[in-house]
Amino acid sequence: MRFSPSFLDEIRDRVPISDVVGKRVTWDRRKTNVSRGDYWACCPFHGEKSPSFHCEDRKGRYHCFGCGVSGDHFRFLTDLEGLSFPEAVQQIADMAGVPMPQPDPQAERREKERTSLLDVMELATQFFQDQLQTAAGAKARAYLRERGLTGRTIETFRLGYAPDSRNALKEFLAGKGVGKEQIEACGLVVHGPDVPVSYDRFRDRIMFPILSAREKVIAFGGRAMSADAPAKYLNSNETELFHKGNVLFNFARARRASQGAEGAGTIIAVEGYMDVIALHQTGIENAVAPLGTALTENQLDLLWKMTTQPVLCFDGDGAGIRAANRAVDLALPHLKPGRSVRFAMLPDGKDPDDLVRHEGREPFDKVLANARSLAEMVWMREVQGGGFDTPEKRAELEARLRQVTSVIADESVRRHYGQDMRDRLNAFLQGSAPFRGERRPFERGGRERGGRQGGFRQAGGERNAGPTTISDRLARSSIVSGQQAAPLLRESVLALTIVNHPQLLFEEYDEISTIEFDHRELQRCWAAVLNAAATNGPRLTREGLVEQLEAEGFAPLIGALDQQIRYARLWTATTVAAPEDAREGYLQALALHKRTKALNWQRRELERELAHATEEGDLEVVPQLLRTLQEVQLEVTRLENQEAIIEGFGVLSGRVKGPAAR
């Protein structure tokens, strides 16, 4: 039987391709990154000893770099196990828990009708394109030129013009033999019991075709040319083809771009059609937009199907900030390990179209490089402009942060968000004079470090009753973020090695790109490094990377890192290191970095459990918790003491440090 594309798409989307392939192969633990849905194994189609078979859940595809085979769920089963296509579909449908479609003459008829409607939409698109080139379309052409669009861009997006006539499109389609029912079913005319004679929905508007995931025109957006029009932008109504909340403008093209070297897996969601088109013309082809409304859950799911961490870009005005806050609330319940969003906030009064049209691509790239994490957006929203000069107000903030993070469905992510908010709040209150000596929020114990309970006295014993108001500037300061004066040595090694040997980034991109730095300025620099890698791909050189980082204001930081590394004689991070030495030193430094972070997290968890047990009077578990905490602390101290001297930094097994060995 013939399966509809919508049914095949549904069962493919429900079943990660790794679940299909994973029953026939053993994943390589070293190269596989489960949180990103990125898997490697020895190819089941040809004999090999090292894994060159790659499987990506995000794309729903597999590819072997050894023998060249590739395909989707169904192709894997038909090629490897010799199943027929219907048998492969049956197996995937069973895994998805979706019943197989029964032979249904009505369903087949609807599918034919749907195909016929797509043909009508294609005719309408061609009509609008042709009208743009007529005398009637001169005003629309002038408007597009004023917006800086080239003829090539207009053709790429198939922009058109709907004439200022009640029946121009309807009469054109009727002349092509399209029936009244089909025209109405496509949403191209206004009709109904209160409308004696149907008429064109779009009149005197620049037309933006909206494509499906299969790149078929399913709807239109129209931008009014007249200032008196009741709606500046008008979308097609809901039809058999089009459900606005399930579609993103430029979805298919952006998905392709994100899978290539230029996109490097990134998807940018902006607010409007023209933003997407202007970015595309500047070379940023991996942008999408919701259709004139706030982002929906289904649209967010579409973004996550393309990338694990899309960037949501909002205008910097009040409306943009409100939209960003709505997106925060939309995303929080659906977070999972390895799945989040970032927020890029534009300068006040600017949108992406304005920015790239007047200032070029570079300012927008900087906005993306400075994108904030979801956790930072939550923190900023809850504390910005608030005064926390009384215990009640601080308790209210604490309760609000708990409430916000409690909506996260995934238990692990919810726990880590709670910890992140506690760390931010404690760091802020510790750094604010009125709270020194006071018990920190979220701590269960009742005494401060000095042994004195309560109080609002400062170090000199004076009372300070002045209110504390958190401004935007303070919320981003080192007090809140916990930034150190200088990076930790291991963080300097991780960053500078990549700057001096950027090819390492592409060899181990999936793991390296997810590194989290504690040092604030290093976080920003790292975002710029990843952006340069996304822009240039494997062509990126050290000279080009350094030049770009210096242009973005990171020259002092790079100089400080270089001085720190040379003082510690960690030559594997410098330019003189051979590529194999730099790689080995880097991976050892990364292992130490990850181990230290894990230990610090374990220490904080143990401290919380110990405080809770003491408060609850559960004294039986206290000795064991203390012993475990002491062991963890000793291990942390050992790693900190060894950071600059153990092998893996200055000495690589069997190799001499420094350029003299070359």
Give the domain ranges of the chain: 5-96, 105-241, 251-370, 379-445+467-481, 489-642
| 3-state class (DSSP) for residue 60 | coil
- Interval 108-125: pLDDT, tens: 666 666 678 999 999 999
Alpha helices in 467-578 (DSSP H): 472-475, 478-481, 489-500, 503-507, 509-512, 520-536, 542-551, 555-567
pLDDT exceeds 50 at position 651: no
Predicted local confidence at residue 439, as pLDDT: 40
Q: Which pLDDT score, from 0 to 100, does residue 480 have? A: 39
Question: For 575-620, what is each residue's pLDDT tens digit?
Answer: 888 888 888 888 888 878 877 777 777 777 777 777 777 766 666 7
How far apart CA 601 and CA 518 sit, in angstroms, is: 13
| Res 438: pLDDT | 40
pLDDT of residue 499: 92
Q: Could you say which architecture CATH assigns to the domain 5-96?
A: Alpha-Beta Complex (3.90)
Q: Is the pLDDT higher at 291 or at 506? A: 291
Q: What is the model's pLDDT at position 210?
A: 96
Higher-confidence residue of 520 and 12: namely 12
Number of CB atoms found within 10 A of residue 368's CB: 19
Residue 650: pLDDT over 70: no
Q: Which of 93-107, 416-430, 587-601 has the highest mean pLDDT?
A: 416-430
What is the C-alpha to C-alpha distance for residues 197 and 146, in angstroms, rounded to an integer?
37
pLDDT value of position 351: 84
DSSP string, 434-470: GGTTSPPTT--SS--TTS--S--B-TTS-B-----B-
Between 476 and 541, residue with greater pLDDT: 541
| One-letter-per-residue 3-state SS of 343-408 | EEECCCCCCHHHHHHHHCHHHHHHHHHCCEEHHHHHHHHHHCCCECCCHHHHHHHHHHHHHHHHCC
**Per-residue confidence band for 228, with pLDDT thresholds at 50, 70 and 90:** confident
The fold of the 105-241 domain, in CATH, is DNA primase DNAg catalytic core, N-terminal domain (3.90.980)
- What pLDDT does residue 657 have? 38
Residue 493: alpha-carbon gap to chain centroid: 26
Instruction: Give the pLDDT band (50/70/90) at residue 136.
Output: very high
Give which of 120, 126, 122, 140 is closest to 204, Cα–Cα. 140
Mean pLDDT score across all residues of the chain: 81
Handedness of CA 256, 257, 258, 261 (dihedral sign): positive
Q: Measured over all CA atoms, what is the biggest interatomic distance in the chain, rounded to whole angstroms? A: 91
Alpha-carbon span 95 to 188, nearest angstrom: 40
User: What confidence score (pLDDT) does residue 194 get?
Assistant: 87
d(CA 114, CA 108): 10
User: How far apart are the C-alpha atoms of 166 and 203, rounded to whole Å?
Assistant: 7
Which amino acid, residue 570?
L
- 340-372: pLDDT as tens digits: 999 999 987 788 988 898 888 889 999 999 999
Domain over 251-370 is classified CATH 3.40.50.280? no
Are β-strands 268-269 and 217-224 bridged in parallel, bridged antiparallel, or unpaired?
A: unpaired
Predicted pLDDT of residue 331: 95
Considering 354-368, 630-644, 646-660, the range whose residues carry the highest mean pLDDT is: 354-368
DSSP string, 491-513: HHHHHHHHHH-THHHHHSHHHHT
Query: The tokens of 336 are what?
Result: 């999972």
pLDDT at 562: 86
Specify the pLDDT at position 486: 66
The per-residue pLDDT for range 163-190, each reduced to its tens digit, is: 999 999 999 999 999 999 999 999 999 9
Answer for the pair 389, 438: CB distance below 8 angstroms, yes or no: no
